[in-house]
Amino acid sequence: MATNRTFTMLKPDSVENGYIGAILEKISAAGFRIAAMKMTQMTVSDAKAFYAVHSERPFYGELVEFMSSGPIVAAILEKNNAVEDFRVLIGATNPADAAEGTIRKLYASSMGENAVHGSDSDENAAIEGAFHFSGREIF
């Protein structure tokens, strides 16, 4: 069942490279409404917890280090079929495999530094949104 919200982070590479505005423009042009948004930085322990599902994967240490290395922009986005449509908009995990016009094709440099996060299910969208935002920050 598709619900109408997903969670995203513009990752440290996007912020560092000055792509916040361009990526938000793509998100807006694709019809997503911003329900919550902030610039923040995850600590190492935040990033470990956020990505706990990947803790057994060989890239976990690198992922945690990168995601806590600088500020991110976290947001909750609203649209019909939000989770699935946002995954299409961001493209494949590896930017080399991402379709033309997708955010990762346009703005990501590698598998590890791939510009944006997008939730992979409605359940995870709710968990991840709640990780970053209190009720008073969601509109």
Residues within the interface to ligand DAT (CB under 6 A): 54, 59, 62-63, 93, 111-112, 114, 117, 120
Write out the E strands in the chain: 5-10, 33-40, 72-78, 116-118
Q: What is the DSSP string of 105-121?
A: HHH--SSSS-SEEE-SS
Task: Classify burial at 84, counting beta carbons within 10 Å of its beta carbon; exposed 0-12, middle 13-18, buried 19 or more.
Answer: middle
Instruction: Pick the closer one to Mg ion by CB: 121 or 139.
Output: 121
**Residue nearest ligand DAT, Cβ-based:** 93
Binds 117, which of ligand DAT, Mg ion, none (CB < 5 to 8 A, cut-off by type)?
A: ligand DAT
Site for Mg ion in 83-122 (CB under 5 A): 120
Instruction: Pick the closer one to Mg ion by CB: 112 or 134.
Output: 112
Under the binding rule (CB under 5 A), the answer on residue 137 touching Mg ion is no
Shortest Å, Cβ 136 to ligand DAT: 28
**How many Cβ atoms are within 10 Å of 25's Cβ, its own excluded?**
11
The single residue listed with the structure tokens 């513009």 is 10
Catalytic pick among 117, 128, 132, 133: 117
Is 117 in the active site?
yes
Instruction: Pick the closer one to ligand DAT by CB: 88 or 139.
Output: 88
Q: Which residues of 41-75 are buried (b: 16+ CB within 10 A; e: fewer)?
A: ebeeebbbebbeeeeeeeebeebbebbbbebbbbb
**Residue nearest Mg ion, Cβ-based:** 120
Active-site residue set = 117
